[in-house]
Amino acid sequence: MQNAAPISESARVFQGRASSLPLALMMMVSALLGGLIAVAVSSAVRPAQAQGQPTRAAAVPRDFASVADAVRPVVVNINTEQVIRRQYYGFDIFSFDPWSDEWPPSRPYTRTQKVSSLGSGVIISRDGFVLTNAHVIAGAQKISVTLEDGKSYPARLISDNLGQDLAIVKINAGRQLPAARLGDVDKVKVGSWAIAIGSPFGFTETVTVGVVSAKGRVLRQDSGQEAFRDLIQTDAAVNFGNSGGPLVNADGEVIGINQAIYSPSGVGNIGISFAIPIKASTKGAISGVVDAAAPGA
């Protein structure tokens, strides 16, 4: 309409505001509906786990008290005594007779010395068979096993020919004893929890915690010759006196027998220690020795 009067400035302003109200309401409603739809869709649809994505790690245990409580009763302290005879040449003041012996009094003579050593072990049967390291009881004339309750019993060697520095001794406690559960290191992964229990430096029932740092380790002598193979490496603190004690998993199963530490200074643990692995073949060898010895033990 060309003849229509132009709209006044105030009228144009009012018209613009009036026409924008329905549009604003529509935008608000649309946004609200869109948000509700997005929430509903996100709640209903869960993203599928990508194929090959690592599973969620198991929760870290609050503590290891239950494992320690279960295993400590089967861990023992082993004391040995050995009489060492040494040959000397010289003046033996204790046997020299100035009235009859020739002069000068230098001659060969023998001295005896009683040597005591300390180690650990683990009860593997309710009738008193104990698993330990062969080097713990090597050459001993007397072996004594002390239980968790402080009672000590004489022990006798059953076998030190299990290979990999393992030995079995037997005590007669006159009662049924708690026995450890033997695990299988082949089912244990690197990074799994590892708990060592033993008597480092004579401090009985010491519990230390670490992980399985590696498997299949080889130890060599200074000459380079292989001494032991297929060992478990752990950073659980192990020191002198832990030898023969158990290394257990988070379920309290014995997966290894603590054997050695790596210590360039020779002083003590620096976070690298080794244990003899318990495998199906190891359990078979242990059972064979125990079964054969049980009737007359």
Q: Which residues contact 131 (CB under 8 A, 6 or more apart)?
A: 121, 122, 124, 166, 167, 168, 244, 257, 286
CA separation for the pair 181, 187 (Å, rounded): 15
* DSSP character string of 231-262: EEEE-S---TT-TT-EEE-TTS-EEEEEEEE-
* Annotated active-site residue in 127, 135, 184, 192: 135
Cα pseudo-dihedral 246, 249, 255, 257, rounded to 10: -20
Per the annotation, the verdict on 251 as an active-site residue is no
| Cα–Cα distance for residue pair 192/67, rounded to 1 Å | 14
What is each CA distance from 206 to 211, 231, 248, in whole angstroms? 17, 22, 13
Closest CA to 80 of 176, 164, 152, 163: 152
230 is catalytic: no
Q: Could you give the maximum distance between any two Cα atoms of the chain, in Å? A: 160
Q: Is position 273 annotated as part of the catalytic site? A: no
Contact assessment for residue 286 and residue 131, using Cβ atoms and an 8 Å cutoff: yes
Q: Select from 274, 199, 275, 212 the least CA-distant residue to 249.
A: 212
Cα Rg, the chain, nearest whole Å? 37
Tokens of 176: 């049924």
Identity of residue 218: V
From 144, 213, 243, 273, active-site residue: 243
Q: Determine which one of 144, 165, 235, 273 is catalytic.
A: 165
**CA 63, CA 22: separation in Å to the nearest integer?**
64
Whole-angstrom CA distances from 134 to 45, 160, 164, 243, 277 are: 61, 6, 9, 10, 15
Residues recognised as catalytic: 135, 165, 243
